Each structure stands twice: as structure tokens, then as C-alpha cells.
Amino acid sequence: MIKEIDGGVCAAKGFQASGVHCGVKANSSPEKNDLALILSQRECAAAGVYTLNRVKAAPIYVTMDHLEDGTAWGVVANSGNANACCPMSHENAELMCAAAAQATGREPGDFIVASTGVIGQTINIAAIQVGLPDAAAKLSPEGSDAAARAIMTTDTVKKEIAVSLTLGGKEVRIGAIAKGSGMIHPNMGTMLCFITTDCAITHEMLEDALRQVVMHTFNRVTVDGDTSTNDTCVVLANGMAENPLIEWMDDDYAAFKDALAYVCRHLARAIAGDGEGASRLVTCKMVGARSEESAERLAKAVVGSALVKAAMFGADANWGRVLCAMGYSKAPFRPEHVDISFESEAGSILVCKQGDGLDFDEDLAKNILTQKEIVIAVDLHEGEDSAECWGCDLTYDYVKINGDYRT
């Protein structure tokens, strides 16, 4: 049984977090936290997954280096500047870790480092160095909220969750915070996700679980077709739950992976629903596919289509755009077998049967599509596999937000 609990990234035993304002971005509001710190009482097994963009920000390379031994103690992260494609980026990422180490009594290599914000501008490392002692002083088991808010950029809501489950007779907790709103496309996006757990699990099993879970959650989100330079998803496991060590793909491993998937799915949906300027969360459920891979490719094409997204914004039941997007996905399917429905809490309406349009109640369809969460349900009638991907509508505000993001 997976149970949602309070506490976010501090829900697991032995973790503390904080978030403070240090002024990474010039003229930023002192009310906006921009520096986050997470620290464990014990050394953690650690694993990470990163952007597939060929252009990677310096913090990713530093984090990869620090995680070569499969261990970490904490995370230091900032918003307001991506520390990507700019002078001194690698050196400044290392300096962030050094400052975090000095403030907490650890070593620079004990830290994962991450940044988010505008690309191409040198980060204000001096502000971060001044701010980290304050962040360390404010580390607290109640610090998840402050840390979650510190990594937000264009996000309109914080993204945080924690769950508990029982493994080997012991309560195990998993908590996480994330950010993401724009530059979101399959293979992650401008997203940071920091996951903590008190589960006793080896680095190898933790890495395997994270990679499998990310593939079926964060990699199925798209907001705008852009894959960022800074995407980072990491998990730290300190073993303080004292459950029997998970070192094989046994039943406890499967239960842990299911709970990790629950956490990441929740955050993936939250990121999609909070897409820049978005007014609706759009889910595409693709069933009856020949394979899970083809179902995923088809669903990604649908939620990634600018025309489908625009139709969802206008509450227009333009199902032809759905079929069109599927057609250019390069996934195999037979259009003449496809059924398409639109669903929400207002009801469900079948708009396409075996590849052909149906007469349907336009008023009911519009009512369905004006709800906060919309499902595009597609049945391929070709197999037993399925996939679910998440996106959002495309609104005028997306252009407003991104038209002057840098300035």
C-alpha cells in the first residue's frame, strides 16, 4: 500500500532542507527564494538521470563527476540562472559545491549541484557563496516548502509530494520536490527533481529503478517541444528506515519502484498541468497498441502537437488534429481502426469511430473540453499494449512569458 503523507523532500528520516533568497538574479524580489539546500544525516546511495540535449549545463557534468562513486550527502540548487553556456560555468558549479561543503562541514564532492534559469549569462556566484551559510543555518525537517519554492522559475505552483510504504516490516518513506513549466519535452525538459528516501537499497538497484521510472513518467511529458540544457532528476537513499537491504530485483524492489513511480507520475502530471501559460492539463491515453513503444510515440505526438494544444485551449473538439498528429509520429497503426473520445469530469464523448468522424453534440463536447483536466482517449484496436502521456494547452500567455524571458 502506497500512502501519501506530508513532509515533501524531508519526509524520509534523516533529511533536512532549506530555501533562502540570496539575489542570484539582479533586482529579484527579496520575497522569492532562489537558493535551495538539502542534506542527509548519513551518506546516501545516489543516482541521477539527465537531459539528452547535446548541450548540457555545467552543473550536470559536475554532478555526474560527483556521483561516479554512487554516493552523495546532499543537493545545492539555485534558480534565476542556468549556469549554462557562459564563462566560468564549470568553475562556478564547483564553487557552489565548495560553498555548500564549507557551510555544512561536508566535502565538495558530497554534493549534487543544479541550476535553472536563463542560459548564457554568468551566474552571480558571489551571491550564492554569501547565501549558503544562511541556507545551512536554516536547514530543517520542515524545510521542504522553502526548498521547493527556491527552485521555481516560471512555475505558478510548487511541486512537492511524499509517500510511505512498508518493506520488510519497516516503514519506508519517499519524498520529492520538482520544478518545471517551460522548455518541457520528452526526454525530460527544463525540470529539476530531487527525490529523497530512507530506504536501504544499493546504488545499482536505485539507479535501475530511477531510469525505468523516469522513462515512464518524466519522459512522457511535453509542454512546448523544447528539451532543456539543465534537466536533472536525482534520488538519494540513506537507509535510515532500516528495512532489509534491497540488492536484488525481488518483491521489495518491485514495491519500492512502484512507490517511486507514484511519486514521479504525480510530479510529471503537475509539471504538465503547470506548463507556461497553461489553463488545462491534457492527457492522451493510447490503448490497444501493438507495443508500448508505439503507444508512447503516438501519445507523445498528440500531446506535443501545437494544433491539438491550440484546439484544447479553444475547447474545440477538432479530433482530426489528433489523428493527423498520430499519422506523422512514425509509429505503426491502422487509421481505419482508430476510435477517439474526449473525456473529463463533465463526461465522455466519442467523436471518431474506425477512423471516420461521427455526428456528436457540440455543446457537450465543448463542456467536456472546458474542464481543468482533459483526456484524449484513443483506442487503436490492434493489440494489448498502452501508454499515457501528459501535456497542456497552448495559450496566448505562453508567448507573453517567453517573448521577453531573458530581459
Please provide the DSSP assignment of 247-292 as one string. Answer: -SSSHHHHHHHHHHHHHHHHHHHHHHHT-TT---EEEEEEEEES-H
**pLDDT number for residue 372:** 93
**pLDDT number for residue 220:** 87
Active site residue 227: no
> What DSSP state is assigned to residue 226?
P
**pLDDT number for residue 180:** 79
Which residue ranges does the chain devote to CATH 3.10.20.340? 281-403
Full-model pTM: 0.87
**pLDDT number for residue 53:** 80
**pLDDT number for residue 296:** 95
**pLDDT number for residue 28:** 86
Q: Which strand (E) or helix (H) includes residue 19? A: strand 15-20
Residue of 65, 110, 117, 71 whose CA lies nearest to 90: 65
**pLDDT number for residue 83:** 95
| Structural domain 3-273, CATH architecture | 4-Layer Sandwich (3.60)
Residue environment code for 254-279, b if the CB has 16+ CB neighbours within 10 A, otherwise e = ebbbebbbbbbbbbbbbbbbbbbbbb
Q: Which three cell numbers stand for residue 364?
A: 457537450
CATH number of 281-403: 3.10.20.340
Q: Which strand (E) or helix (H) includes residue 403? A: helix 396-403
Name the active-site residue from 153, 190, 217, 395: 190
Which residue ranges does the chain devote to CATH 3.60.70.12? 3-273
Print pLDDT tens along the chain (407 aa). 999 999 999 999 999 999 999 999 988 899 999 999 999 999 999 999 998 788 889 999 999 999 999 999 999 999 999 999 999 999 999 999 999 999 999 999 999 999 998 889 999 999 999 999 999 999 999 999 999 999 998 788 899 999 999 999 999 999 999 997 644 444 444 589 999 999 999 999 999 999 999 999 988 887 555 456 778 899 999 999 999 999 999 999 999 999 999 999 999 988 887 766 668 899 999 999 999 999 999 999 999 998 999 999 999 999 999 999 999 999 999 999 999 999 999 999 999 999 999 999 999 999 999 999 999 999 999 999 999 999 888 877 767 766 776 66
